[in-house]
Structure 1
C-alpha cells in the first residue's frame, strides 16, 4: 500500500498528513482517512567498517519470523545518489518503502549509515511511531585497518579513510546529544556473533537469539 496516494480519489502527496491517534493518513484533497499500521523502525547504523553488513546477515535468520532486515546500500544507485539536502531523495525513498513493508504487519530493521538529523526532519517520518538508532563503533586504528583491507572496488584510499575516521569521531561525540539519542555499541574486540546477539537484544528486548546458549 502506497500511503502517499489516496485510496479514494487517487491524489498524490509528498508530505503525508498523519493523525497519530488513528493512526490514519488524511487526504487534503477529499478528506479520506486511511487507517494504516504505524510501526517503529530500528536503524542499525555506524561508520563504514564497523560491521553493519555482517551483523545484518546474522540477524536475518534470527528475526525472519517477526522483522524484515534490510541493508541500506542496495538502493545506493543512480539518481538516488543525489547529494542534495543530505541525500534526501535516498533517505525519503527508504522511508517510503519501509512504510509499505510495515503494512504487512512486520516492522523493519534497516542496516546502514544514517543519523537522526537525516531521517527525523523528513515528512515521511510521520509514517513511523518512532525511529530507534543503534550505532556500531570501533577504535580508529582498527577501523582504518578494516577499511584498508577491503576489496579495491570499494575505493578506500587514505584520504577517504581519514574522512571516515573523522565521521566516526563525530558519532562518538554527538550520539548522546542527538534527537533522539543514538545508542552506541563498540565492535572493536567483541566477536561478531556476540555483537550480533547484542543487537538482537536491543531490537527485541530478549536475552539472546533463538538457539543461542547463555
Structure 2
C-alpha cells in the first residue's frame, strides 16, 4: 500500500485523473480497487493580512487530535511558485498532500488563500468527501495597514497590496454565489481569541454532523 492516492498499489500506475467508485479508488489500468479514508477538507482562506497565520497556530492547539492544521505557504516555492496563473500544480500538490495526511485518520484544516474554483475543478478533488471554505476578511483600510506593516522580506509593496485589496473585495462580493458557497468572517474589530473561537466552532460543527474521522474509511 502507498500513501500517494494517485498511485495504484497493485500495478504502480500513476493516475492523472483518479477515479472513485462506491467509496473505493479504482485503477484505470488494472481495475484494482482499494479503500481509503475520504474525509472533508477545511479551507481557512481569505486575503493575506486577515488573520489566517495568526489564527492557525492557536487553532492547532485547540483542535488537538481532532484535526491537523497546516500552512499553505510551506509549499509556495520553486517550480510550484512559478506555475501558470491560478497555480494548478501548487493547488494539486496541496490536495495530494492533504489526502495523504487524511489516511492517518484526521481531517486537514488548510490555512491559505484559495477560492473554490481553484480546488473544485482539479482531479485531486475526488479524494475528499467535501471541501468547506471559511474566509477571514477585513475592511480595506485595516487590511492595507496590516500588510504594509509586515517585514520587508515579505515584499508587500503598494502594487501587491492593491491586488490583495481587490481580492478581499471580490471575495466578499462573490462568496455566497460560489460553488460551494464561502462563509465569511470579518476580523477587522475582532480580538484574536474570538476569531479562533469562531473557526474552531466552524470545524467542530461540521465534523459533528459527519462520520468520525477514524471511522471514515471508503
Task: Bin the TM-score by the shorter chain.
Answer: over 0.9
| Counterpart in the other structure of 1:6 | 8
**SS of structure 2 residue aligned to 1:84:** coil
Residues in 2 aligned to 1:85 and 1:32: alpha-carbon distance in whole angstroms: 35
| Counterpart in the other structure of 2:86 | 86
Larger RCO (CA under 8 A, 6+ residues apart)? 2
What's the CA shift for 1:85? 5.0
| Counterpart in the other structure of 1:15 | 17
What's the CA shift for 1:176? 0.5
What is the correspondence of 1:81-160 to structure 2 with a 5 Å cutoff?
A: 81-84=81-84, 86-160=86-160
Residues in 2 aligned to 1:114 and 1:93: alpha-carbon distance in whole angstroms: 13
Residues in 1 aligned to 2:159 and 2:100: alpha-carbon distance in whole angstroms: 39
Deviations 1:7-41 (A, max 9, x none): 1111111210111x2x1110011110011110000
What's the CA shift for 1:126? 0.4
Contact 1:82–1:90 (CA under 8 A) maintained in structure 2: no
Residues in 2 aligned to 1:200 and 1:173: alpha-carbon distance in whole angstroms: 24
Deviations 1:21-70 (A, max 9, x none): 2x111001111001111000000000000000010011011112111100
**SS of structure 1 residue aligned to 2:185:** strand
Residues in 2 aligned to 1:57 and 1:113: alpha-carbon distance in whole angstroms: 16
| Counterpart in the other structure of 1:209 | none
| Counterpart in the other structure of 2:161 | 161
| Counterpart in the other structure of 1:180 | 180
What is the correspondence of 1:36-115 to structure 2 with a 5 Å cutoff?
A: 36-84=36-84, 86-115=86-115
**SS of structure 2 residue aligned to 1:135:** strand
Deviations 1:145-197 (A, max 9, x none): 00111001111111211111111100010000100000000000000111011
Residues in 2 aligned to 1:66 and 1:129: alpha-carbon distance in whole angstroms: 17
**SS of structure 2 residue aligned to 1:132:** strand
| Counterpart in the other structure of 2:198 | 198
TM-score (norm 2): 0.91
- Number of aligned residue pairs: give it: 204
Residues in 2 aligned to 1:85 and 1:30: alpha-carbon distance in whole angstroms: 35
Question: What are the ranges of 5 or more consecutive residues in structure 2 without an aligned counterpart?
Answer: 207-218
Contact 1:82–1:89 (CA under 8 A) maintained in structure 2: no
Residues in 2 aligned to 1:36 and 1:11: alpha-carbon distance in whole angstroms: 17
Q: Which runs of 4 or more aligned residues in structure 1 lie more than 4 Å from their structure 2 counterparts after TM superposition?
A: none
